[in-house]
Amino acid sequence: MIRQDEGEVVSVRGSVVDVRFPGSLPQIHNLLDAEGTAIEVLLHLDLDLVRGIALTPTGGLARGAKAIDTGRPIMVPVGDKLLGRVFNVFGKPIDHGEKIDAQDLRSIHQNPVPLSRQTTASEIFETGIKAIDILSPLERGGKAGLLGGAGVGKTVLIMELIQNMASKYQGISIFCGVGERCREGEELYREIKEVGVLDKSVMVFGQMNEPPGARFRVGHAALTMAEYFRDDAHQDVLLLIDNIFRFIQAGSEVSGLLGQLPSRVGYQPTLSTELAELEERICSTESGAITSVQAVYVPADDFTDPAVVHAFGHLSASIVLSRRMSSQGLYPSIDPLQSRSKMLSEAVVGREHYRIAQKIRKTLADYEELKDIIAMLGLEELSAEDRRIVNRARRLERFLTQPFFVTEQFTGHKGRMVKLEDALDGCERILKDEFQDYPEGSLYMIGNIDEAKK
């Protein structure tokens, strides 16, 4: 039985609580229970005083209240019983389902996998989505950023990735909502249930209305669950984090409440360390891989913002969603010229894939430059070669659209999952002008290129 040391609350300032322990001090990250308020110890102020951050509201907590050291950090359940359920930062179900009777509880604070156990081979994580697999391929065990504003299709893309992960890899998807709106979380849960992939998913939320401490730790809770499926169940895990910027924001709030001097642009001085503690746990080992797709909010479209710069340092691919393409009905609205991946090199994807991808980029970039001339003078004023470039580019744009399984009921188009070699073959044939006499509409919302002939 863990010996429970008792302390006394000496000050409450918002979410920051100072507790005096006359006996031995609780360890850093230990959880305190102060009359129902959960507090995580973050600092030792002196020989008998600790400072912690509240993970639940502090309303009603006063000086003199008893605080009990539980003797352990936040522990969350792990195992197959988690599948199909929704949890909070403490690993407690919040979906009104039955209580989880988990025998295996693990601390949310785990060390990253040592380099000796990580696999160093660069493997491609095929998603079955043409625009991603050809132009910004994901790394198995890597981290990809999903950048875009509201309404351009981030959530739909995340749901399609969950669907494809379940059907192609028989893997597990873990969705981690950091600072999610309650409405967004509820909608996502309902949609995942409707498309039938809930039994292969786990959802963990630190919602927007919760204290910053809960939002700051929910990513670690989700990662602990993901590490079980990778290390113990030997399965591939797709970890979706929405939104990594809100994790940094929660850390900034915690830092300010603790009285730390702010750093550049008002961010916490420990920004890079806190982000690294989370990101470095995402990797692949001999037993399985955690592949992460993270939505990144770019404040005021400023890519030099410290939060964005530090997040980008950890990403192996960035997928940029374009509002212009979305308004033209080109879904998924992935911008082929702005999206990037470290995997797109000859050494990793092979010479043929690299050559086709570069040719697609050049064709679309040339078309982008010609758009102004077309708008002013019309297509007829272009040279024969320029007209061929426009013809190819418009067909490539339409071929890179794809009907999703999760949108079947809204679009009437049956969902497609396209193999990488089929997607490359289609693009190659369009670049060779094999489809120049086909109407553009025949290439829109299809899977393989041969469907255009039908």
Q: Are 90 and 59 in contact (CB under 8 A)?
A: no
DSSP reduced 3-state for 274: helix
345 secondary structure, DSSP code: S
List alpha helices for 53-178, DSSP H.
130-135, 154-168
Residue 106 annotated in active site:
no
Lookup: tokens for 250: 């929660």
Active site residue: 13, 181, 362, 371, which one? 181
> Angle at the Cα of 283 (from 278 to 286), degrees rounded to 5?
145
DSSP reduced 3-state for 7: strand
Compute the distance between CA of residue 149 and CA of residue 128 in angstroms, rounded to an integer.
24
Residue 143 annotated in active site:
no
- 31-37 long-range contacts (CB < 8 A, ≥24 apart) are 31/70, 31/72, 31/73, 31/74, 32/7, 32/67, 32/68, 32/69, 32/70, 33/67, 33/68, 33/70, 34/9, 34/61, 34/65, 34/66, 34/67, 34/68, 35/60, 35/61, 35/65, 35/66, 35/67, 37/61
Residue 154 annotated in active site:
yes
**DSSP3 helix / strand / coil % (the chain, rounded to 5):** 40, 20, 40
Q: Are strands 31-34 and 16-20 parallel, antiparallel or unpaired?
A: unpaired
Active site residue: 130, 140, 154, 200, which one? 154
Lookup: tokens for 74: 């936040």
Active site residue: 180, 210, 274, 397, which one? 180
Q: Which residues are catalytic?
A: 154, 180-181
